């Protein structure tokens, strides 16, 4: 993992031995009662002893790269994440419809139990793991059924381009993700 980043691990650092178990995804070939696991590196700091956990109780189909990034994110923040949305068909009426990163198969919607969506969205931006981050505040419900949740995606972008970000407070006025106070 550190070789990928072009860095040497801190002295005495050892990789975690715990495996992260993900619930089976629709279309993955695994039965819903049998977990599938993901073990990919790429974090920017030594991982804590918490190995991370991505829950997908409804079995949403989520791209593997996005799933791997969610696992790394969970590890970084030291809390589990729970998926509430994944890939959508081109005929979807939700969110940005057929322009959605969900239709492009790069996105997932999720939340972190026990914290606000604003805190989670700020953590997702700070993690630098995702190419797009959207915040839909608790209480927000858009005209096409979107919200409340945090959206992340791995959209195609120039490596120097900033992370795409947007936010919807409960009032529904589109803006940027506000910083935590």
Name the residue with tokens 């059924």: 145
Strands 54-55 and 81-85, by their bridges, are parallel
Write out the DSSP string of 105-131: T-EEEEE-TTS-HHHHHHHHHHHT--S
92 CB-near residues (< 8 Å, 6+ apart): 98, 100, 102, 103
Task: Give the pLDDT confidence score for residue 170 in this predicted structure.
Answer: 94
- Annotate 153-176 with b (16+ C-beta within 10 A) or e (fewer): bbeeeeeeeebebebbbeeeeeee
Which 8-state DSSP code applies to residue 77? H
Per-run averaged pLDDT (10 residues), the chain, 181 residues: 45 44 40 36 50 91 94 96 86 61 88 97 96 94 84 89 93 93 80
Task: Give the pLDDT confidence score for residue 125 in this predicted structure.
Answer: 97
Task: Give the pLDDT confidence score for residue 10 in this predicted structure.
Answer: 55
Q: Are 38 and 64 in contact (CB under 8 A)?
A: yes
Whether 145 is in a domain gets the answer yes
Task: Give the pLDDT confidence score for residue 124 in this predicted structure.
Answer: 97
CA distance readout (Å), 152 to 15, 48, 166: 26, 22, 11
Whether 119 is in a domain gets the answer yes
Whether 173 is in a domain gets the answer no
Whether 7 is in a domain gets the answer no
Whether 24 is in a domain gets the answer yes
pTM of the entire structure?
0.70
Task: Give the pLDDT confidence score for residue 143 in this predicted structure.
Answer: 81
Which 8-state DSSP code applies to residue 98? G
CATH number of the domain to which 118 belongs: 3.30.1380.10
CA neighbor of 72 nearest in space, from 38, 118, 100, 107: 38
Whether 65 is in a domain gets the answer yes
Task: Give the pLDDT confidence score for residue 36 in this predicted structure.
Answer: 34
Task: Give the pLDDT confidence score for residue 95 in this predicted structure.
Answer: 54
Whether 42 is in a domain gets the answer no
Q: Count the domains in the chain.
A: 1
Task: Give the pLDDT confidence score for residue 85 in this predicted structure.
Answer: 87
Whether 57 is in a domain gets the answer yes
**Domain hosting residue 101, numbered range:** 20-37+49-168
Task: Give the pLDDT confidence score for residue 70 in this predicted structure.
Answer: 97
């Amino acid at each position: 993992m550190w070789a990928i980043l072009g860095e040497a691990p801190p002295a005495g650092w050892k990789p975690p031995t715990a495996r992260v178990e993900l619930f089976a995804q629709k279309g993955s070939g695994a039965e819903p009662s049998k977990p599938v696991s993901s073990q990919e590196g790429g974090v920017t700091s030594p991982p804590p002893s918490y190995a991370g956990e991505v829950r997908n109780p409804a079995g949403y189909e989520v791209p593997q790269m996005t799933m791997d990034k969610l696992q790394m994110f969970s590890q970084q923040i030291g809390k589990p994440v729970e998926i509430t949305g994944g890939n959508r068909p081109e005929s979807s009426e939700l969110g940005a419809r057929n322009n959605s990163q969900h239709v492009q198969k790069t996105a997932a919607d999720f939340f972190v139990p026990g914290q606000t969506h604003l805190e989670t969205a700020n953590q997702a931006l700070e993690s630098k793991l995702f190419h797009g981050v959207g915040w839909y505040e608790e209480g927000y419900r858009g005209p096409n059924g979107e919200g409340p949740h945090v959206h992340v995606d791995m959209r195609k972008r120039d490596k120097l381009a900033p992370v795409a970000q947007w936010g919807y407070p409960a009032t529904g006025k589109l803006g940027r993700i506000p910083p935590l106070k």
